[in-house]
């Protein structure tokens, strides 16, 4: 059911992109948007991990450099029968972590220096369990594709607004008289909002699922609960400088960029209080 729901959401985002293209440029715009959707999905599939790691300044680390991190990662990856992801450290004092890659065979996990310094062994295990759950469930691919498609929809809508100011939507006047102009206008303003809502719904459900799966992977939720409490406290006062806003939806908690925070309604992450409450209600059966 989760795979089906994710597929439906990604298809809906692709359709929104094509419709927005049609609203901006008529039949030709629709064809261009379809080509863009295919291209964006391809780029996301093959290069989203490289883009996320490069934009955050993540550096690869060896077992000799960080034996503690490798020991936790190898132990949990072995329990779930997935390859050990490539490990990276981000030179960032704000504690955070994210996973990226198109599948478990091409996955990477990045943690900030601040997270390594802040977390004890149980908390680190909880964080890594959460990130490996994203890898195992292919969340890192679907989230990246969703973010790319949503960005393309927003860009097309912005182009449409400029086109409206300088001569219309690329449709003829007969279409305008038939209501096509009104439909295009509605699509230009509503498509980005619809894309945002679909992306946020996908991201939020994935975070709850990764929390639960990660706790079962570890064998108890207590390390992750403590880690989330620390992450929430420190990310409220230490601004993030390395991780870009475009990568923030991949992080275990929403980074703080030193600006006014948006309403939780439009956050890519569920409220930490809700995630912690859900973990406390769990009856954990360790995964075998």
Per-residue model confidence as pLDDT tens digits over 28-85: 665 666 676 667 666 666 777 888 898 899 999 999 999 999 999 999 999 989 999 9
Phi-psi region at 267: left, alpha or beta (left = phi > 0; alpha = psi -120 to 50): beta
Which pLDDT value is given to residue 241? 86
pTM score, whole prediction: 0.73
Contact 54/84 with Cβ under 8 angstroms? no
Q: How far apart are CA 129 and CA 287, in angstroms?
A: 11
Asked if pLDDT for residue 98 goes beyond 50, the answer is: yes
pLDDT interval class at 228 (50, 70, 90)? very high
Contact 275/224 with Cβ under 8 angstroms? no
Which pLDDT value is given to residue 50? 86
The tokens describing 174, both together, are 């007969």
pLDDT digits (tens, 9 = 90+) for 238-278: 988 888 776 787 899 988 877 554 444 456 688 999 999 99
- The total of other beta-carbon atoms located within 10 Å of residue 183's CB is 17
pLDDT digits (tens, 9 = 90+) for 184-203: 555 556 666 666 666 666 66
pLDDT interval class at 175 (50, 70, 90)? very low
Annotated catalytic residues are 131
Asked if pLDDT for residue 288 goes beyond 60, the answer is: no
Give percent of the chain above pLDDT 70.
57
Which pLDDT value is given to residue 244? 79
- The total of other beta-carbon atoms located within 10 Å of residue 205's CB is 16
**Burial class of 277 by CB neighbour count within 10 A (0 to 12, 13 to 18, 19+):** exposed
Contact 34/142 with Cβ under 8 angstroms? no
- The SS3 assignment for 251 reads strand
Which pLDDT value is given to residue 113? 97
The tokens describing 24, both together, are 């901006």
Which pLDDT value is given to residue 96? 97
């Amino acid at each position: 059911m989760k795979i089906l729901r994710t597929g439906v959401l990604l298809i809906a985002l692709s359709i929104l992109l094509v419709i927005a293209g049609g609203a901006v440029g008529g039949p030709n715009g629709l064809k261009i948007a379809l080509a863009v959707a295919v291209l964006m999905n391809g780029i996301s599939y093959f290069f989203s991990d490289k883009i996320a790691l490069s934009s955050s300044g993540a550096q690869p680390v060896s077992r000799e450099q960080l034996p503690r991190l490798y020991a936790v990662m190898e132990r949990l990856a072995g329990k779930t029968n997935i390859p050990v992801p490539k490990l990276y450290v981000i030179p960032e004092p704000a504690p955070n972590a994210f996973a990226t890659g198109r599948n478990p065979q091409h996955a990477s996990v990045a943690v900030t220096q601040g997270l390594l310094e802040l977390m004890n062994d149980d908390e680190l295990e909880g964080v890594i369990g959460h990130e490996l759950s994203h890898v195992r469930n292919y969340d890192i691919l679907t989230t990246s594709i969703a973010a790319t498609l949503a960005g393309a929809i927003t860009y097309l809508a912005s182009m449409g607004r400029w086109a409206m100011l300088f001569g219309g939507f690329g449709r003829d006047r007969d279409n305008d008289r038939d209501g096509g102009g009104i439909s295009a206008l509605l699509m230009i303003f509503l498509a980005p909002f619809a894309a945002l809502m679909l992306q946020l719904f996908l991201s939020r459900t994935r975070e709850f699922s990764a929390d639960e799966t990660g706790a079962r992977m570890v064998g108890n939720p207590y390390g992750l609960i403590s880690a989330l409490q620390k992450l929430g406290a420190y990310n409220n006062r230490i601004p993030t400088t390395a991780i870009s806003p475009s990568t923030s939806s991949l992080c275990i908690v929403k980074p703080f960029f030193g600006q006014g925070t948006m309403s939780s309604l439009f956050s890519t992450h569920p409220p930490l209080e809700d995630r912690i409450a859900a973990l406390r209600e769990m009856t954990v059966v360790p995964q075998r």
